[in-house]
Amino acid sequence: MLRLGLIGAGRWGRNYIRTVAAMADTRLALLASRSPESPGLVPGDCPVLADWREMLDPGALDGVIIATPPGLHAEMASAAIEAGLPVLVEKPLTMDVAQARALRGLALDRGVLAMVGHTHLFNPAYRALKAMRPQFGRILEVRGEAGNFGPYRPDVPVLWDWGPHDVAMCIDLVGEVPLRAASTLLESRAADGGTGETIGVDLAFRGEVRALLRLSNIAPRCRRLTVTCERGSLVYDDLAAQKLVVVDGGGARAIETARDLPLGIVVSEFAAAIAAGSLDPGSLELGVKVVEVLASCARG
């Protein structure tokens, strides 16, 4: 039985708690959280620690999941890696390029697995899109829309809250980082609990490939990525009944894909990597690239 520790029991941390509870060969062995509600969220045999540092014991855990605000990721992930514990970090890896690169260097130096939770890369519909994409020829353009009414986070701007998923998908599909990256503030207004914004992101890749993204926390809920190729378009819509649609000379047709929950796949693949002793740096490398691109966007 694989033993995982979780740092953070907020909204996303609770998703991890439910996900691990549904797994057959993995259990939540420790939770680090200061919330008084936390003991009621986990099984009775899962201790809840107020200080996350107390959980970093390779004798008690096989891996650690970090589901805290991004500003805490670098310190927590570094400590886990120093302790020799494989770590899965929620997106974004960090909000600072130097910290992201330092984490990569530390993980490679210590020989410890580190993964980043870009959840949409694990969605069966997105994976089907990526597998089918080559038959439609060269990518010409990518357009993304992502947002909702909220959340309004004083410590995480919209660009860093909604942007990591779309930027990760763009880099993953094109197979390289953009030559140029910029963002534009399209709208800003007061909203309940904070400031609402709509951000436009423009990524320019080699071969005149463009990715145009619209990110917002003051818009109806959406998560759509349209990939236009030489011989048709593929549309990934995470909120639609049919999550993958192909549009080509034969019209529009839905592609059936598995219904597995992406977060379940994330944790399952993290657990499998731990069990196999994998040191594959691919997820971490992508996490660093995403931080670098978002930092470029934030600079304008």
- Find the domain containing 21 and state its range: 2-118
**How does pLDDT run across 123-182, given as a tens digit for each residue?**
999 999 999 999 999 999 999 999 999 999 888 999 999 999 999 999 999 999 999 999
Q: How many domains does the chain have?
A: 2
- Residues in contact with 5: Cβ distance below 8 Å, sequence separation at least 6, in sequence order: 28, 29, 30, 31, 32, 55, 56, 60, 61, 63, 64, 65, 85
Task: Tell me if 253 is assigned to some domain.
Answer: yes
**Residue listed under structure tokens 């038959």:** 135
State both tokens at 87: 């770590």
- Shared domain check, 128 and 102: no
Task: Tell me if 254 is assigned to some domain.
Answer: yes
If you ran DSSP here, which 8-state letter would residue 86 be given? Answer: -
**How does pLDDT run across 251-276, given as a tens digit for each residue?**
999 999 999 999 999 999 999 999 99
- Shared domain check, 193 and 105: no
Task: Tell me if 236 is assigned to some domain.
Answer: yes
CATH number at residue 109: 3.40.50.720
Task: Tell me if 130 is assigned to some domain.
Answer: yes
- Shared domain check, 73 and 60: yes
The proportion of the chain whose per-residue pLDDT surpasses 70, expressed as a percent, equals 100
- Shared domain check, 112 and 188: no
Task: Tell me if 181 is assigned to some domain.
Answer: yes
| pLDDT digit string (tens) for the chain, length 300 residues | 999 999 999 999 999 999 999 999 999 999 999 999 999 999 999 999 999 999 999 999 999 999 999 999 999 999 999 999 999 999 999 999 999 999 999 999 999 999 999 999 999 999 999 999 999 999 999 999 999 999 998 889 999 999 999 999 999 999 999 999 999 999 999 887 788 999 999 999 999 999 999 999 999 999 999 999 999 999 999 999 999 999 998 899 999 999 999 999 999 999 999 999 999 999 999 999 999 999 999 987
Distance in angstroms (rounded) separating the CA atoms of residues 31 and 51: 10
Chain centroid, CA 165 distance in Å? 5
For residue 155, count other CB atoms closer than 10 A to its CB: 11
CATH number at residue 224: 3.30.360.10
For residue 22, count other CB atoms closer than 10 A to its CB: 10
Residue type, 17: I
Task: Tell me if 285 is assigned to some domain.
Answer: no
- Shared domain check, 232 and 165: yes
pTM, two decimal places: 0.97
- Shared domain check, 109 and 172: no
Task: Tell me if 136 is assigned to some domain.
Answer: yes
Q: Which of 118, 136, 158 is at the close of a domain?
A: 118
